[in-house]
Protein backbone atom coordinates (compact mmCIF):
# COMPACT_ATOMS: atom_id res chain seq x y z
CA UNK A 1 0.00 0.00 0.00
CA UNK A 2 1.49 3.34 -1.09
CA UNK A 3 0.47 6.90 -0.19
CA UNK A 4 0.01 9.75 -2.64
CA UNK A 5 -0.82 13.45 -2.50
CA UNK A 6 -3.07 15.06 -5.12
CA UNK A 7 -2.68 18.79 -5.85
CA UNK A 8 -5.88 20.58 -6.89
CA UNK A 9 -7.04 23.98 -8.08
CA UNK A 10 -10.74 24.87 -8.16
CA UNK A 11 -13.42 27.49 -8.53
CA UNK A 12 -15.61 27.09 -5.45
CA UNK A 13 -18.61 29.06 -6.74
CA UNK A 14 -20.70 26.00 -7.60
CA UNK A 15 -19.72 23.88 -4.61
CA UNK A 16 -21.16 23.67 -1.11
CA UNK A 17 -17.65 23.46 0.28
CA UNK A 18 -14.54 21.31 -0.02
CA UNK A 19 -15.19 18.44 2.38
CA UNK A 20 -17.56 15.70 1.25
CA UNK A 21 -21.16 16.06 2.48
CA UNK A 22 -24.38 14.17 1.82
CA UNK A 23 -26.65 15.66 -0.85
CA UNK A 24 -24.27 18.61 -1.47
CA UNK A 25 -21.87 19.06 -4.38
CA UNK A 26 -18.34 19.35 -2.96
CA UNK A 27 -14.83 19.47 -4.38
CA UNK A 28 -13.78 16.30 -2.55
CA UNK A 29 -16.93 14.54 -3.73
CA UNK A 30 -16.25 15.46 -7.36
CA UNK A 31 -12.70 14.11 -7.12
CA UNK A 32 -13.73 10.91 -5.34
CA UNK A 33 -16.37 10.26 -8.03
CA UNK A 34 -13.81 10.82 -10.80
CA UNK A 35 -11.31 8.50 -9.12
CA UNK A 36 -13.90 5.77 -8.62
CA UNK A 37 -14.85 6.01 -12.30
CA UNK A 38 -11.21 5.87 -13.42
CA UNK A 39 -9.90 3.19 -11.06
CA UNK A 40 -13.18 1.24 -10.73
CA UNK A 41 -12.93 1.19 -6.96
CA UNK A 42 -13.71 3.66 -4.21
CA UNK A 43 -10.62 5.46 -2.91
CA UNK A 44 -11.23 7.58 0.23
CA UNK A 45 -9.47 10.95 0.29
CA UNK A 46 -8.22 13.08 3.19
CA UNK A 47 -8.03 16.82 2.57
CA UNK A 48 -5.45 19.36 3.72
CA UNK A 49 -7.72 22.41 4.11
CA UNK A 50 -11.52 22.45 4.28
CA UNK A 51 -12.53 25.57 2.38
CA UNK A 52 -16.10 26.80 2.89
CA UNK A 53 -18.88 27.05 0.33
CA UNK A 54 -17.98 29.49 -2.44
CA UNK A 55 -14.28 29.73 -1.51
CA UNK A 56 -11.74 29.13 -4.28
CA UNK A 57 -8.27 27.57 -4.28
CA UNK A 58 -5.20 28.01 -6.43
CA UNK A 59 -3.68 25.13 -4.48
CA UNK A 60 -5.08 22.50 -2.16
CA UNK A 61 -4.03 18.95 -1.43
CA UNK A 62 -5.55 15.60 -0.47
CA UNK A 63 -3.93 12.25 0.23
CA UNK A 64 -4.94 8.66 -0.43
CA UNK A 65 -3.59 5.13 -0.09
CA UNK A 66 -3.76 2.49 -2.80
CA UNK A 67 -2.10 -0.68 -4.09
CA UNK A 68 -2.89 0.39 -7.67
CA UNK A 69 -0.10 1.65 -9.91
CA UNK A 70 -0.39 5.44 -10.27
CA UNK A 71 0.92 6.73 -13.62
CA UNK A 72 1.48 10.21 -15.11
CA UNK A 73 -1.42 9.67 -17.53
CA UNK A 74 -3.85 9.50 -14.60
CA UNK A 75 -3.59 13.28 -14.16
CA UNK A 76 -4.95 13.70 -17.69
CA UNK A 77 -7.56 10.98 -17.15
CA UNK A 78 -8.88 12.56 -13.95
CA UNK A 79 -9.07 16.02 -15.53
CA UNK A 80 -11.09 14.56 -18.38
CA UNK A 81 -13.61 13.24 -15.84
CA UNK A 82 -13.74 16.25 -13.52
CA UNK A 83 -15.96 19.31 -14.08
CA UNK A 84 -14.24 22.32 -15.65
CA UNK A 85 -14.23 24.08 -12.28
CA UNK A 86 -11.75 21.54 -10.81
CA UNK A 87 -8.29 20.65 -12.11
CA UNK A 88 -5.72 18.13 -10.86
CA UNK A 89 -2.32 19.81 -11.10
CA UNK A 90 -0.21 16.88 -9.98
CA UNK A 91 0.00 13.56 -8.13
CA UNK A 92 2.94 12.98 -5.78
CA UNK A 93 4.42 9.87 -4.17
CA UNK A 94 5.03 10.54 -0.47
CA UNK A 95 6.22 8.59 2.58
CA UNK A 96 3.62 6.27 4.10
CA UNK A 97 3.25 8.44 7.21
CA UNK A 98 2.87 11.76 5.33
CA UNK A 99 -0.42 13.56 6.05
CA UNK A 100 -1.82 16.27 3.79
CA UNK A 101 -3.36 18.20 6.68
CA UNK A 102 -1.07 17.68 9.65
CA UNK A 103 2.25 17.90 7.80
CA UNK A 104 1.50 21.29 6.24
CA UNK A 105 3.95 23.85 7.65
CA UNK A 106 2.43 26.97 6.07
CA UNK A 107 -0.82 28.02 4.43
CA UNK A 108 -1.47 31.15 2.43
CA UNK A 109 -4.71 32.90 1.52
CA UNK A 110 -5.67 35.84 -0.69
CA UNK A 111 -8.76 38.00 -0.33
CA UNK A 112 -9.77 40.19 -3.26
CA UNK A 113 -11.93 43.32 -3.43
CA UNK A 114 -12.88 45.41 -6.47
CA UNK A 115 -14.15 48.95 -6.11
CA UNK A 116 -15.45 49.58 -9.63
CA UNK A 117 -18.30 47.51 -11.03
CA UNK A 118 -16.75 44.77 -13.14
CA UNK A 119 -18.67 41.84 -14.66
CA UNK A 120 -15.45 39.79 -14.85
CA UNK A 121 -14.88 40.10 -11.10
CA UNK A 122 -18.43 39.14 -10.15
CA UNK A 123 -18.33 35.94 -8.10
CA UNK A 124 -14.52 36.11 -7.89
CA UNK A 125 -14.07 39.21 -5.74
CA UNK A 126 -15.99 41.36 -3.22
CA UNK A 127 -17.52 44.46 -4.84
CA UNK A 128 -16.90 47.22 -2.30
CA UNK A 129 -17.46 50.68 -3.90
CA UNK A 130 -16.54 52.76 -0.85
CA UNK A 131 -13.35 54.73 -0.09
CA UNK A 132 -10.76 52.88 2.02
CA UNK A 133 -7.59 54.10 3.70
CA UNK A 134 -5.20 51.32 2.70
CA UNK A 135 -2.38 52.72 4.87
CA UNK A 136 -4.50 52.33 8.03
CA UNK A 137 -5.51 48.83 6.97
CA UNK A 138 -1.83 47.93 6.54
CA UNK A 139 -1.02 49.21 10.03
CA UNK A 140 -3.74 46.91 11.35
CA UNK A 141 -2.37 44.03 9.27
CA UNK A 142 1.19 44.63 10.48
CA UNK A 143 0.01 44.36 14.06
CA UNK A 144 -1.21 40.80 13.47
CA UNK A 145 2.37 39.56 13.53
CA UNK A 146 2.56 40.65 17.17
CA UNK A 147 -0.35 38.42 18.25
CA UNK A 148 -0.65 34.65 18.58
CA UNK A 149 -4.14 34.21 20.10
CA UNK A 150 -6.89 34.79 17.52
CA UNK A 151 -9.92 33.57 19.43
CA UNK A 152 -11.75 36.80 18.50
CA UNK A 153 -11.58 35.78 14.84
CA UNK A 154 -12.79 32.21 15.25
CA UNK A 155 -16.41 31.25 14.82
CA UNK A 156 -17.35 29.36 17.95
CA UNK A 157 -19.08 26.35 16.38
CA UNK A 158 -15.79 24.66 15.63
CA UNK A 159 -13.76 21.88 17.21
CA UNK A 160 -10.27 23.20 17.93
CA UNK A 161 -7.98 22.69 20.91
CA UNK A 162 -6.18 26.00 20.52
CA UNK A 163 -6.67 29.45 19.00
CA UNK A 164 -2.93 29.95 18.57
CA UNK A 165 -1.72 30.90 15.08
CA UNK A 166 1.71 32.07 13.95
CA UNK A 167 1.09 34.68 11.24
CA UNK A 168 4.22 35.41 9.19
CA UNK A 169 2.82 37.69 6.48
CA UNK A 170 -0.18 40.05 6.30
CA UNK A 171 -0.18 42.60 3.47
CA UNK A 172 -2.71 44.85 1.75
CA UNK A 173 -1.79 45.85 -1.80
CA UNK A 174 -3.37 47.64 -4.74
CA UNK A 175 -3.53 45.53 -7.89
CA UNK A 176 -4.57 47.93 -10.62
CA UNK A 177 -8.01 49.19 -9.65
CA UNK A 178 -8.47 46.32 -7.19
CA UNK A 179 -7.34 45.62 -3.61
CA UNK A 180 -5.84 42.39 -2.34
CA UNK A 181 -5.05 41.06 1.13
CA UNK A 182 -2.45 38.29 1.46
CA UNK A 183 -1.85 36.36 4.67
CA UNK A 184 0.40 33.44 5.60
CA UNK A 185 0.30 31.37 8.80
CA UNK A 186 1.02 27.90 10.08
CA UNK A 187 -2.76 27.44 10.55
CA UNK A 188 -6.06 29.31 10.38
CA UNK A 189 -9.29 29.17 12.36
CA UNK A 190 -12.81 28.79 10.99
CA UNK A 191 -13.95 32.12 9.57
CA UNK A 192 -10.66 33.78 10.57
CA UNK A 193 -9.65 35.44 7.30
CA UNK A 194 -13.10 36.75 6.43
CA UNK A 195 -13.34 38.12 9.98
CA UNK A 196 -9.96 39.79 9.70
CA UNK A 197 -10.79 41.32 6.32
CA UNK A 198 -14.23 42.55 7.38
CA UNK A 199 -12.88 44.16 10.53
CA UNK A 200 -9.86 45.74 8.80
CA UNK A 201 -12.22 47.19 6.19
CA UNK A 202 -14.00 48.92 9.09
CA UNK A 203 -10.61 50.36 10.07
CA UNK A 204 -10.14 51.56 6.48
CA UNK A 205 -13.57 53.20 6.49
CA UNK A 206 -12.84 54.99 9.77
CA UNK A 207 -15.66 53.10 11.48
CA UNK A 208 -13.34 51.78 14.20
CA UNK A 209 -10.13 53.37 15.51
CA UNK A 210 -6.75 51.69 15.74
CA UNK A 211 -7.17 51.50 19.51
CA UNK A 212 -10.50 49.74 19.02
CA UNK A 213 -8.85 47.38 16.53
CA UNK A 214 -6.29 46.28 19.12
CA UNK A 215 -9.04 45.90 21.72
CA UNK A 216 -10.99 43.63 19.35
CA UNK A 217 -7.97 41.42 18.60
CA UNK A 218 -7.24 41.00 22.30
CA UNK A 219 -10.86 40.69 23.44
CA UNK A 220 -11.45 37.00 22.53
CA UNK A 221 -15.00 38.16 21.68
CA UNK A 222 -16.19 37.12 18.22
CA UNK A 223 -19.27 39.34 18.63
CA UNK A 224 -17.06 42.37 17.93
CA UNK A 225 -15.76 40.96 14.63
CA UNK A 226 -17.35 41.40 11.19
CA UNK A 227 -17.62 37.95 9.58
CA UNK A 228 -20.01 39.13 6.86
CA UNK A 229 -17.44 39.38 4.06
CA UNK A 230 -18.55 37.21 1.12
CA UNK A 231 -16.87 33.90 0.34
CA UNK A 232 -16.37 34.79 -3.34
CA UNK A 233 -13.31 36.96 -2.59
CA UNK A 234 -11.38 34.29 -0.68
CA UNK A 235 -8.71 32.07 -2.26
CA UNK A 236 -6.55 29.38 -0.67
CA UNK A 237 -3.34 30.32 -2.46
CA UNK A 238 -0.70 27.89 -1.20
CA UNK A 239 0.13 25.03 1.15
CA UNK A 240 3.77 24.28 1.95
CA UNK A 241 5.21 20.96 3.11
CA UNK A 242 8.60 19.61 4.12
CA UNK A 243 10.62 18.39 1.14
CA UNK A 244 9.01 14.99 0.61
CA UNK A 245 6.80 15.46 -2.48
CA UNK A 246 7.94 13.40 -5.49
CA UNK A 247 5.83 14.15 -8.56
CA UNK A 248 4.62 11.15 -10.56
CA UNK A 249 6.17 11.41 -14.01
**pLDDT of 249 over the 70 cut:** no
pLDDT at position 30 is 96
pLDDT at position 60 is 97
Q: What is the mean pLDDT of the chain?
A: 94
Task: State the pLDDT confidence band at 247, using cuts at 50, 70 and 90.
Answer: confident
Strands 106-114 vs 126-127: parallel, antiparallel or unpaired = parallel
Cα 71 to chain center, whole Å? Answer: 28
Q: What is the 3-state secondary structure (H, E, C) of 191-242?
A: CHHHHHHHHHHHHHHCCCCHHHHHHHHHHCCHHHCCCCCCHHHEEEEEEECC
- Residue 59's nearest CA partner among 82, 30, 90 is 90
Catalytic residues: 52
Per-residue pLDDT tens digits for 108-122: 999 999 999 999 998
pLDDT at position 169 is 98
Note whether 85 and 14 are within 8 A (CB).
yes
Per-residue pLDDT tens digits for 161-174: 899 999 999 999 99
Per-residue pLDDT tens digits for 66-105: 999 999 999 999 999 999 999 999 999 999 999 999 999 9
Contacts of 22 (CB under 8 A, 6+ apart): none
Note whether 74 and 91 are within 8 A (CB).
yes
pLDDT at position 168 is 97
Note whether 107 and 239 are within 8 A (CB).
yes
Per-residue pLDDT tens digits for 177-216: 899 999 999 999 999 999 999 999 999 999 999 999 999 9
Note whether 232 and 51 are within 8 A (CB).
no
Structural domains of the chain, ranges and CATH numbers in brackets:
2-103 (3.30.70.580), 106-237 (3.30.70.660)
Amino acid sequence: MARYFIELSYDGALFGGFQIQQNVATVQGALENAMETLFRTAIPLTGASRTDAGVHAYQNFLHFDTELEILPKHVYNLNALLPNSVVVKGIYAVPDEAHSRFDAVKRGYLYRLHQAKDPFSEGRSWFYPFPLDLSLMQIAADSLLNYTDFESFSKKKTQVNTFQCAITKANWTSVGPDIQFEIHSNRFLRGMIRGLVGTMVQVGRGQISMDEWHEIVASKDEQRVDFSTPACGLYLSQISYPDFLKKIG
